[in-house]
Amino acid sequence: MRETTRAVHAGENPFSPGRVGDVVSPIHVSSTFARRVIHKPTGGYEYSRSANPTRDAYEKALAELEGAKYALGYSSGLAAGANILLALLGKGDHVVASDDLYGGTRRLFLKTFGKFGLDFSFVDAREPANVESAIRENTKIVWLESPTNPTLKLCDIREISGIAHKGGAIAVVDNTFASPYFQNPLSLEADIVLHSATKYIGGHSNVINGAVMVSDEGLHEKLRFQQNAVGAVPSPFDAHTIHVQLKTLGLRMERHAQNAQDVAEFLEAHPKVKRVYYPGLKSHPQHELAKTQMRGFGGMVSFEIRGGMEAAARFLKSLEIFLLAESLGGVESLAEHPASMTHASVSREDRMRAGLSDGLVRLSVGIEDSGDLISDLDNSLK
Ligand SMILES: Cc1ncc(COP(=O)(O)O)c(C=O)c1O
């Protein structure tokens, strides 16, 4: 099955045990499950933190979307990330990460896990040799985002996964920006995929959720243990909501990407715009890599406005269709200022190093009419 068909049917089986032919997975709200005898759960379930039929159906769908054997659902993307670190790292271990991560991931690494004797190095992962030279004997994870948030840098997932394996580490890829529709890191030799399912997988700005996909049995066991031990799991309502919404992933992603391409080309030709970051533009330095490891270029566009912080603030205030808000991946277009919003927790020095200037604006291009979106941008730039 192709991606669009898979998204519609993933995780659904109207005739599986417990279902009565319902074409969408029902919501099982019970926190606990009765059994007839002490030794064995009668219906296969014990307690909903450990496993729940609605979450199971959702997790099956997530696995199918990424072409993975297994998937695990979490109460947020950061909870999913924390679970990976908890499952795979111990005292004294080291992680090599790309230097342009989502600000909250960097905060999770340095401010939360940094307290427990774990060590993190950040490198420009556009150049695989930088990752290679940062790997040490105690490196357990190479953590990548591609494209990155917010400057849409790419890294060669296949080559860097090979480097990680050679150094005795595993490769984790945050695939939130591309979505499983446009990129599948497991097929590029990565070991674990992470999503903030709050974004494109959910797609409607109405649920906070996270997902981890994995095919290796041993890694899955470790992750599953921590998912239950820590308990940052989604409610059955959230699992059901996202499961229904991910059925339109293909339709939404095609429209996001077409609109983003139109918007990026418009911005690139505008005199008040200094620079546009979008992997679908020929001017993107890694456009060729994008064509080989992605099936489409996604819905995120960043650009640098002439006039720095002040111009960015005036531009963002003038928008009428684009809403000034954090987050991304929903059907409605959003705009934000990374330096003072999503990446405010990153130090100015680190921001500058990663190319996050004060004039940088990030757009999550929605599924509206692209002519309306371009008029809105044009009016605000004026
Ligand atoms: C690339 C990326 N990864 C992870 C996260 C964290 O996800 P959540 O907000 O669902 O915890 C985000 C949130 O913006 C993100 O953009």
Question: Which residue, by CA, sits nearest to atom 14 of ligand 1?
Answer: 327
Ligand 1 atom 10: residue of nearest CA:
77
Q: Which atom of ligand 1 is nearest to the CA of 145?
A: 1
Exposed/middle/buried for 8, CB within 10 Å: 0-12, 13-18, 19+?
A: middle
Which letter does DSSP use for residue 47 in this model? B
Question: For 64, which DSSP code?
Answer: H
- Count the residues in the chain: 382
Residue nearest to atom 2 of ligand 1 (CA): 102
Which is the closest atom of ligand 1 to the Cα of 101?
1
Q: How far is CA 144 from CA 3, 80, 233, 278, 344, in A?
A: 23, 15, 24, 18, 20
Q: How confident is the model at residue 88 (pLDDT cuts 50, 70, 90)?
A: very high
Listed residue (12, 57, 294, 261) closest to 179, CA to CA: 294
The catalytic residue positions are: 49, 102, 174, 199
Average pLDDT over residues 172-179: 98
Category of 231 on φ-ψ map: left (φ > 0), alpha (ψ -120 to 50) or beta: left
Q: What is the DSSP string of 287-316?
A: HHHHHHH-SS--SEEEEEETTHHHHHHHHH
Residue 102 CB less than 6 A away from ligand 1: yes
Residue-range domains of the chain with CATH: 3-247 (3.40.640.10), 249-381 (3.90.1150.10)
Substitution site in 172, 179, 199 for ligand 1 pocket (most atoms within 8 Å of beta carbon): 199
Residue 251 has a pLDDT of 97
The model's pLDDT over 127-169, given as tens digits with 9 standing for 90+, comes to 999 999 999 999 999 999 999 989 999 999 999 999 999 999 9
Q: Are 346 and 103 in contact (CB under 8 A)?
A: yes
> 98: part of which helix (H) or strand (E)?
strand 94-98
Distance separating alpha carbons of residues 206 and 227, to the nearest angstrom:
23
The two structure tokens encoding residue 20: 């009565």
Q: Confirm or reject: Cβ of 145 under 6 Å from ligand 1.
A: yes
User: Which one of 62, 74, 78 would you pick to mutate in the ligand 1 pocket, going by the greatest count of ligand atoms within 8 A of its CB?
Assistant: 78
Q: How far is CA 327 from the centre of its chain?
A: 11
pTM: 0.96
The enclosing H or E element of 324 equals strand 323-324
Per-chain mean pLDDT for the chain? 96
Q: What is the mean pLDDT of residues 190-194?
A: 98
Residue 355's region, left for phi above 0, alpha for psi from -120 to 50, else beta, is: left
Contact 209, 75 (CB under 8 A): yes
Q: Is 345's pLDDT higher than 80?
A: no
Nearest C-alpha neighbor of 249 from the set 342, 182, 349, 294: 182
Distance, CA 181 to ligand 1 centroid (Å)? 17
174 in ligand 1 pocket by Cβ < 6 Å? yes
pLDDT tens for each residue of 47-78:
999 999 999 999 999 999 999 999 999 999 99
